[in-house]
Every structure is written in C-alpha cells, then in structure tokens.
Structure 1
Amino acid sequence: MPSLPRSPFGRRGRAAAEVTPERTEPRVDIVESPGLRWINIERPRALEQTWLEEHFDFHALDYEDVRSRNQRPKVDEYDDYLFIVLHFPRYDKVVSRLNAAEVDMFVGPDFLITLPNEPLQTIDYLFERCRTNEELRESLFSKGPGYLLYKIVDDCVDASFPMLGKIGNKLERIEEEIFTGEGDDVVRDISNAKQEIINFRKIVRPQRLAFRDLERNKARYIAEDLDIYFDDLIDGSERAWDMLENYKEVVEGLESTNESAIAHRTNETFRVLTAISLIFLPLTLIASVFGMNVPVPAEHGAHAFWIIIGVMFAIVVAVAAFFRRRGWL
C-alpha cells in the first residue's frame, strides 16, 4: 500500500503544542488584611479546586456546585460559612449577546472567596484596587466579610444599569425608525432587543429571591449598624426588575406598532395602485372597443384619433379629480 504524504503542518502543530507548558500551580489571588482574607479565583479548574479542598473544609455538594456551570442563584447556610451562587449580566462581544456570568462565593468569619466562571470587570477592578490601595483595603476589610460581600455584589448590580440604559436607548432609536420609516431592519432590531430583555429577565428573576435569602442571613457576618446596606441590594435588584418589566411592555408595544405601520404602508401602496388602475380602466375599455377587428363608427375619419385621445384625457382628469376630492390620492 502506498504511503500517504505527510502534511507539512502536522509536525509544526505538534511542536507548538509541546512548547505550551501545562500549569502546575493554581491561579489563586489573595488580598489580606488583619482579620480578613479575600481570595479570588477566576475560572477555577482542577488545580484551583484541589487547592480549595486542601485549604478549606467545605461541603462536598458545594464543591460539586463549583464544578458545575449551571447553578441557580441561591444561598446555602452552614454552621461556619455561607455558600452563595449569584448571576450577573455580561455582554459577550464575540457573539454579540447578553449572557449570565456565575459567581460562586464562600463567606466565613475571616475569609471571603469569589469564584467567577467568567471574567467580571467589576470584581477584577475592585480586587486590584484593594491590592494596590492600602487605605481602601483597610476601609473595606475592617468592617468584616459581610460588608466586603455587600461591596462586591453592589458593584456587580450597579454595573447592570448601564446595560439597561443601552437597551432603553436602543428602544428609543427603534421607535424613531418605526415612525420615520427610515429603518429597513426594524423587525430584526426589535427581535434583538426582545432577546436581550428576555436574557436579562432570566438573570434577574431568580436572583431576587437569592438577595432576600442573603438579607435574612446577613446578621452572622455584618454589624447591626450596617444591615441597611443589604436592603440597598434588594432595592437595586427590584429597580432593575422594574426597568425590565417596563422595557418588556415597551418592546411589545413597539412590535405591535411596527406591524401596524407595515400594514398601513402596505394599505397605502395598494390604495394608490388601485386608484391608478381605476383611472386607466375606462381608457383600457375605450381602447379595446375601438381596437376591435370590426367596423366602428368614424374609423375612416381624419379627426377620430384626436377626438378619442381628447375624450380619454378628459376621463383621466375627471376621475383623478374625483379621487383627489375623496382623499383617495
């Protein structure tokens, strides 16, 4: 059997794979202050999960939830820690779609662990500020893990409002395109806006209950004079939900309005075409009568052609004036 030619790219591809070394150390970022550690592990994999199991004695079901990528928002309470799963909106520029970024968190008396399964700019930014700004770190960490938890979640909730603002601006632009008739892709824009609102509602709806559970369990890790902060989280979540409810009604109204506008423009087109057809109908009848292959009166007259043309023109003017007076043209 003849040997097949070898691809020139095969050896190069294997060499490139061999050059890329596998990680042997877990990627664990830690910021600590007296009495509190914040551990951030972005996109935890096997190495990071092994590191967690070696350093913390969490429940096996919690580790299973960390490995899973499809958990609903929830708050599980244990004797010495809380396990929290939250979802936050994240716009994926690659697919141009709004997705849910899951963040798993462990909260204990002297530690807080965040495990986002997708990069979240708000968490990265706050973590880096705490790492580089000692004054900010002391201000946040001195109030305990509960306040640090509030600050992280509050920043993530606040980050959703600019996204909601963009959806609102998009709906306003769609409304202008509907009434000006300048947008050729209004139906597609409405469909995209509806999909974004649906995805956003899927993120916010189950999270409202999780925030209420978190508000009930906050007393273990937050001082009594700071409990109003967790009420603020619920207010922010409810405000986002109210905006989504409003957007849902708006986009449904825009869809109905666009269908009515399309039907109206179609009716206008048919009305004009019908009026033109009716104007030329008597002319067609006259031309058909005098075009028959039988003798007709005045067919040999020199002025018959011009008389017929004059009559036809008078009929066109009369019918057009009648349609104009009735508002059909």
Structure 2
Amino acid sequence: MARKLRPSPKILTKPDNEDDFYHEPGTIPGTIIIPTDASPPEMTLIDYSTGDVIRKEIKTPEECADYLDTASVSWVEVQGLGDEDILRRLGKVFDLHPLVLEDIVNLVERPKIEEYEDYLLIICRMVVPKEKRYGFYSEQVSLVLGKNYLLTVQEEPEHDCLEGVRARICNNKGIIRKRKADYLAYSLLDAIIDGFFPVLELYGERIEELEEEVMVNPSRQTLQKIYQVRRELLQLRRYIWPQRDAINSLIRDGNELISEDVRIYLRDCYDHAVQVMDMLETYRELATGLMDVYLSAVSNRMNEIMKFLTVMSSIFIPLTFVAGIYGMNFNTDKSPYNMPELNWYWGYPMCLAFMAAVAFVLVFIFWRRGWFQNFSQINSDYKI
C-alpha cells in the first residue's frame, strides 16, 4: 500500500545558550528544535510473529518500510535525536504529521495521547535509577502505534527499562508474540510505569536515613538533603500524574487500534500508575514531616543550649558579686565600716571556700530540679 507523503517540517537547532527547551513566540507549527547535545540515533528493527522473529540494526529508515504493511508486528526503535536527516526520513516512511515530529523532539512535552487517522501517538516519561545510590535518569519516550507496527523514539541509547520486553520477544516468553502491536505498546507502557518502583524504593531508604539523621545529628547539610528529596519527588509526581491520565484516556475513550483484550491489560497498568502516585504522595508527606522534625530538633537543641548557659550564668553571678565586693580598692583601716576579713590571715581562703559553697549549693538545687539531665547531649550534637 502506497503511503501519501506530507511535506517535511522545518527543523532548527537549539542554541547552546538556552537552558530551557521551548518554542519562541510566533514559531511556525511543526517546527522542530533539536538539542545540540543530542545523541546520534541508533535504529533497531524487531519484526516478529508467532513462529519467527527478526532483530537487526538498521542504518536508514527506508530499510524498515517493507515490514510495515506485513502481517507480522514490526517494532522500530530509534534511540537518539541528533540527526536531522533521519528525523525527516522517518516522517516520510511512517507518514507522520509535522506536529507528531514536533512532539517527539520536544523533550519537555507533557505525557499525553494524540489520535490521528492511521496511528496513535503516545508520549510518556521513563525514569531509571542511577548507578550511584541516589538520583535517577529521566527521558521522554514517544510511541507511534499503527495497525501492525510500533515506532518508539527515545532521547538516548542508554538508561532504559525496556530490555525485559526485548528479551521476551526474542526468547518467546509470555504471549507477546501471539498478540498484535497494541499489546506490544501496552508491554512498553507497563515496563515504563514499573520502572518508577525501583526509583521510589531508593527514595524510601533515603527518607529513612534522613529520619535517623534528623533525630541524632541534624545539620545544615540535613536541611539541604531534605529540600533536594522534596524537589526530586515533586519532579517524579509531575511525570507520573499526566501519564496516569493518558493511560486512563486509552481505557475510557477507546480506539480502534486498541483491542478490548489489551484495554483490560491497560487497567492493570493504570492500577500500577495509581500505586506509584500513592507512594509518591506518602513520601512527599514524610519529607514534609522531616522538615517539621528538623525545625523542632534544632529548636529543642537551642533551648537546651540556652538552658545550659543560663544555669552556668546563675552559678557564677553570686561568685562574681562576692569577687566584685572584695575587689574594690578601698583602704578601710580608718573607716567606721571596717572589713576586718581583708587583713585577716585566713580571709582569702575562707572567701574562696564561701564562694565554692555557694556554687555547690546552686548546682545541687539545679540538679534536684532536673536541669542537668540533657546537658550531656549538647556537646556531641551541636556540630553545625
């Protein structure tokens, strides 16, 4: 079947000095902005049926054109957006609307579903935990679902969670090779949604560590960590919320490219998205509670420090008074208000003994009132 070709959209390059990815006001619809640091595309074709599978690397989009109208299911993977010519030729081979190419390359696109005459566009967000302990990689994944084919476009060839689906196809595991392209699209969506769980598990462990740190030894670095966790959880929420709505629209609205059987599977995918949302909300509340606990811990510690300083001042105030009285330089030998202890042989040691006795009585009184019970923690905890 011959495909009607649409005019290729204008393709621009994103300037190096732009930090955000956006279209300038008045930009022509269908304009494509390519990031200057985009990875060169790597293309893979997986064509499968019940009894056979073909997986090969392709150099040009035209190599997959013969597979698109066959009875088998063709999965064309494009990983990387750094080649302007490849994007143009992909649009011609798959007969893509200019706005579809714009959405695919616009890396800050909100997850959504767009219906066209012969295919369905699904924009979603994929997250993968980093090799180090905390953090995650995030990239946009675009799915173009046709009757017997599926085109997926990713930002880069690394850090994805779709290898399990590829292995199931090549090793004939499950029922994926017995189904059509819509089941393949569901499998990818399910893998992308499930990819949030390992990331959230790491954040659960991180929040537990922050809880212990807040209770034992809170510091300014602890506050920065809490803010960072809250920002990253908010970012994950912005990814999964519209993604959940997009899956719900596939279930609710229906489309001739999505069969009733696959729509049932999508309900399970929707349940997973809701579960991710619940976990995110729980972790966000815990992070907010950590902020309150941190402020309370710092306030309590400051109160203990002020109590310690007050007690020490209270002990030394009467001693300072006595020392001030006897430190006045007045000769009282001829004064009617004589201070005989100034010339007394034992006057100096008796004055020191009196001052020590006053200090001991004050310490005993404060101890009986329980004012010394938390002072042992102040020196070990106060490390800001």
Both proteins in one fold, TM over 0.5: yes
Pick aligned residue for 1:305 from 348, 357, 360: 348
Q: 1:106 aligns with which of 144, 153, 173?
A: 144
- Equivalent position to 2:166, from 127, 141, 146: 127
Q: Which residue of 2 aligns with 1:41?
A: 78
CA contact (8 A) 1:174 1:190 kept: yes
Query: Is residue 193 from structure 1 mapped to residue 229 from structure 2 by the alignment?
Result: yes
Letter in 2 for 1:161: F
**Correspondence 1:206 to 2:242:** yes
1:12-31 matches, within 5 Å, as: 27-31=42-46
Higher mean alpha-carbon deviation, 62-71 vs 284-293, is at: 62-71
**Secondary structure, aligned partner of 1:80:** coil
Q: What is the letter of the counterpart of residue 37 of structure 1?
A: S
CA distance 1:92–1:166, shift in 2 (3 Å): closer
Contact 1:99 1:199 in 2 (8 A): no
Structure 1 residue 142: Cα displacement: 2.3
Match of 1:320 among 330, 354, 363: 363
Corresponding residue number in structure 2 for 1:63: 101
**SS of alignment partner, residue 163 of structure 1:** helix
Q: Determine what percentage of the aligned residue pairs are the same residue.
A: 29
Alignment check: 8 A CA contact 1:219 1:227 kept: no
Amino acid at match of 2:197: F
* Secondary structure of 2:182's aligned partner: helix
Q: Measured at CA, do residues 245 and 182 of structure 1 come closer, stay the same or move farther in structure 2, by a change above 3 Å? A: closer
Q: Is the 8 A contact 2:168 2:176 kept in 1?
A: no
CA offset at residue 90 of structure 1? 3.6
Q: Is the 8 A contact 1:144 1:222 kept in 2?
A: no
Alignment deviations for residues 25-79 of structure 1 (CA, whole Å, 9 cap, x no partner): 9632100024210000001332321231231112111112223222111101122
Partner of 1:233: 269
Aligned residue among 61, 82, 89 for 1:51? 89
Q: Does the Cα contact within 8 Å between 2:141 and 2:155 map onto a contact in 1?
A: yes
Q: Which deviates more, 261-270 or 218-227?
A: 218-227
Following superposition, the deviation at residue 226 of structure 1 comes to 3.7
Q: 1:182 to 1:72 in 2, by over 3 A?
A: closer
* Deviation digits for residues 291-319 of structure 1 (CA, Å, limit 9, x no counterpart): 11113512111100011011101100111
User: Structure 1 residues 210 and 80, CA, compared in 2 at 3 Å: closer, same or farther?
Assistant: same
Structure 1 unaligned blocks of 5 or more: 1-24
1:74-113 correspondence runs (5 A): 74-91=112-129, 97-98=135-136, 100-113=138-151
Q: Among residues 190, 213, 221, which one is paired with 1:177 in the alignment? A: 213
| 1:232–1:27 CA distance, 2 compared to 1 (3 A) | same
* Greater percentage in helix: 1
For residue 285 of structure 1, what is the aligned residue in structure 2?
321
Comparing 25-34 and 242-251, the one that deviates more: 25-34
What corresponds to 1:265 in structure 2? 301
C-alpha contact 1:98 1:199 (8 A) present in aligned 2: no
Q: CA deviation at 1:129?
A: 5.1
**Counterpart position of 1:6:** none
Structure 1 residue 171, shift from structure 2 partner = 0.8
- Asked whether the 8 Å contact 1:194–1:251 carries over to 2, the reply is yes
Aligned twin of 1:158: 194
Q: How far apart, CA to CA, are the structure 2 residues paired with 1:80 and 1:176?
A: 55
- SS in structure 2 of the partner of residue 109 of structure 1: coil
What letter is aligned with 2:78? I
Distance of 1:276 and 1:27 partners within structure 2: 72
CA deviation after TM superposition for structure 1 residue 198, in Å: 1.3
Equivalent position of 1:10 in the other structure: none
Report the Cα distance in structure 2 between the residues aligned to 1:67 and 1:52, rounded to whole angstroms: 12
Separation in 2 of the partners of 1:91 and 1:139? 28
In 1, the alpha carbon distance for the partners of 2:108 and 2:229 equals 24
- Aligned match of 1:253 in 258, 266, 289? 289
Q: Equivalent residue of 1:37, what SS?
A: strand
* 3-state SS in 1 of match to 2:162: helix
User: 2: distance between equivalents of 1:247 and 1:37?
Assistant: 40
Q: Which amino acid in structure 1 is aligned with residue 357 of structure 2?
A: A
Which TM-score applies when normalising by structure 1? Answer: 0.85
3-state SS of the aligned residue for 1:194? Answer: helix
Code of the aligned partner of 1:170: R
Deviation at 1:217, TM superposition (A): 5.0
Equivalent pairs, count? 301
How far the C-alpha of 1:223 sits from its partner, in A, is: 3.5
Shift of 1:139: 3.4
